[in-house]
Amino acid sequence: MNILLVSAELAPFAKVGGLADISSALPIGWSRLGHHPIIVLPKYRGIEERYTITKTDITIQCTVFDTEHSFPVWKSTLPGEHIPVYFIEADDLYDRPGIYGNPDGYEDNDERFYIVCKCAFELMIKLNVKVDIISAHDYHTALLLPLLHETYSIHPLFAKSKGVLTIHNAQYQGWYDLQRVMDMTKWQQESYMWKGGFNALKTGIDHADLIIAVSPSYAQEILTKEFGEGLESVYSQYSHKLIGILNGVDYAFWSPEHDMHINHHFSIDDLSNKLMGKNQVIDEYFPTSTIEKSLPLLGIVSRFTDQKGFDLLHGVIEEYIQEEKCRLIVLGSGDETYQSFFRDLQSHFPKLISYSQGYDESLAHHILAYSDFFLLPSRFEPCGLTQLYALRYGTIPIVRSIGGLKDSVQAYDFNSQQGDGIIFQDFTHEALKTALMNAFSLYEQTHHLHCIRHNAMLADFSIENTAKEYINQFTQLLQ
């Protein structure tokens, strides 16, 4: 089948978080199953300089706010694959410092994301591609679905198309000014009004033939007030078309055998290079420390938002560091509260805490591959990819039992020697403290450490399985 995927992020071209990883992993999975994905992305700043992309002879004419615009189209493929990626050029909209304009978002995000959606349809017409599935991702490209309904479903290329909305994060919804959206799109106001405004995610949900949350647990959680972010009644109304499919991993990119960012490769049969890698990381990131390298190394790689739950560390990590129970290496950026928290920690405990602020793909791989434990104490977590990556490298996840974390990490049981992670339930400092204590105690028990690592590395979250589940759903929709 032909699957049109439009996303705000796509690895490696434009990445902020997991949306980028899965937006490229899914098409790779679909393509391995014999399907034909086509990807459309805004041509953000820096892509042309960092990747090989070429200008096509296609230009899309599109009317927005009563004005006709021309958008040149560029093309590339996903690295190492034959999957086409088209980039929509609109420098006044996309040639900016960031993808979203954090922290508050660019004022014209409604227009920026609407245009990429509209251009995606127009591009399919230019290329004469009959689209079976339109795959929209989060609020940014949710507008594909009302566009299909309002404008394109009468076109022969889309007459049988089905629209699928994948929800990666229900917290971000795209609240836009209703009148502005109506002026921009020429849709009829009444049916789009939601709580006095326009909610892009809600509009996508209304028009989707199928809604996929990125884990089965999250699909249940968003039905509740605690996690529905104000849209719980909407999810409940459409629960018949809401399912959960756990994200997957492209192990060609994220595995101790093939990872192109690390140099000490290893496998389940021989972890000696994992230790070499750990020692290398310690030498590099704790250069002045004389404290023994054998302490457990705890890793964090994350966007910093309230979602990720790092406030739980406050008071807990200091105590363990003072007792010299572990080393902590942190990579991340985002909310200033968390950035300054980690900066302060590092300046108090430079021998045992290293904090790198910013985005660093290579360091992320090093931390995931070479740490002993990986920490993710999320308040909520739709899926979470880093714990899936960590598992593959035998880096034991310490996670809260929520959303996709609950669906992907199994608590280690000392009796049966089954399980691959350390899990805690309550969002409390006390619960995290106990989880860390359990982790440090397990680390001392060589046999159990071996078992849990072994189990972790055998866990299989390959993208092929996820892609198959998507395709099964698509097939049912098209019948």
Smallest separation, CB 454 to ligand ADP (Å): 23
Helix (H) or strand (E) holding 470: helix 463-478
What does the block give as tokens for 241? 């078309």
Smallest separation, CB 70 to ligand ADP (Å): 34
- Phi-psi bin for 462: left (phi > 0), alpha (psi -120 to 50), beta? beta
- With CB under 6 A as the contact rule, the residue among 385, 391, 423, 451 that binds ligand ADP is 385
Say how far residue 140 (Cα) sits from the centre of its chain. Answer: 14
Considering beta carbons, is residue 203 or 333 the nearer one to ligand ADP?
333
Question: Please, are residues 74 and 55 in contact by the beta-carbon 8 Å criterion?
Answer: yes
Considering beta carbons, is residue 386 or 473 the nearer one to ligand ADP?
386
Strands 84-88 and 67-77: antiparallel
Stretch that binds ligand ADP, among 12-20, 39-47, 131-139, 428-436 (CB under 6 A): 12-20
Question: Considering the rule CB under 6 A, would residue 11 count as an interface residue with ligand GLC?
Answer: no
Question: Considering the rule CB under 6 A, would residue 146 count as an interface residue with ligand ADP?
Answer: no
Say how far residue 343 (Cα) sits from the centre of its chain. Answer: 25
Question: Considering the rule CB under 6 A, would residue 361 count as an interface residue with ligand ADP?
Answer: yes
Phi/psi for 429 (5° steps) reads: -60, -40
Smallest separation, CB 180 to ligand GLC (Å): 26
Query: Residue 330's closest CA among 294, 364, 355?
Result: 355
Query: Residue 303's closest CA among 270, 344, 331, 279?
Result: 331
**Which entry of ligand GLC, ligand ADP, none binds 301, CB below 5 to 8 A by partner kind?**
ligand ADP
Considering beta carbons, is residue 364 or 435 the nearer one to ligand ADP?
364
Considering beta carbons, is residue 161 or 371 the nearer one to ligand ADP?
371
Question: Considering the rule CB under 6 A, would residue 18 count as an interface residue with ligand GLC?
Answer: yes
Q: How many residues does the chain have?
A: 479
Smallest separation, CB 383 to ligand GLC (Å): 4
- With CB under 6 A as the contact rule, the residue among 161, 203, 386, 473 that binds ligand ADP is 386
CA angle 458-461-462, nearest 5°?
105
Considering beta carbons, is residue 377 or 384 the nearer one to ligand ADP?
384
CA distance linking residue 261 with residue 275, whole number of Å: 16
Q: DSSP letters along 82-96, please?
A: --EEEEE--HHHH-S
Stretch that binds ligand GLC, among 148-156, 285-293, 367-375, 381-389 (CB under 6 A): 381-389
Q: How many CA atoms lie within 13 A of 118 on its CB side?
A: 22
State the residue for tokens 């805004």: 42
Question: Considering the rule CB under 6 A, would residue 168 count as an interface residue with ligand GLC?
Answer: yes
Question: Please, are residues 28 and 463 in contact by the beta-carbon 8 Å criterion?
Answer: yes
Question: Considering the rule CB under 6 A, would residue 7 count as an interface residue with ligand GLC?
Answer: no
Number of residues near ligand ADP (by CB under 6 A): 18
Q: Scanning residues 289 to 318, which ones bind ligand ADP (CB under 6 A)?
A: 301-303
Query: Residue 282's closest CA among 351, 344, 206?
Result: 351
- With CB under 6 A as the contact rule, the residue among 3, 22, 78, 208 that binds ligand GLC is 22
Considering beta carbons, is residue 89 or 420 the nearer one to ligand GLC?
420
Amino acid identity, position 96: R
Which residues of this chain interact with ligand ADP, rule CB under 6 A? 17-19, 21, 301-303, 331-333, 359-361, 364, 383-386
Which residues of this chain interact with ligand GLC, rule CB under 6 A? 17-19, 22, 168-169, 214, 247, 381-385, 404
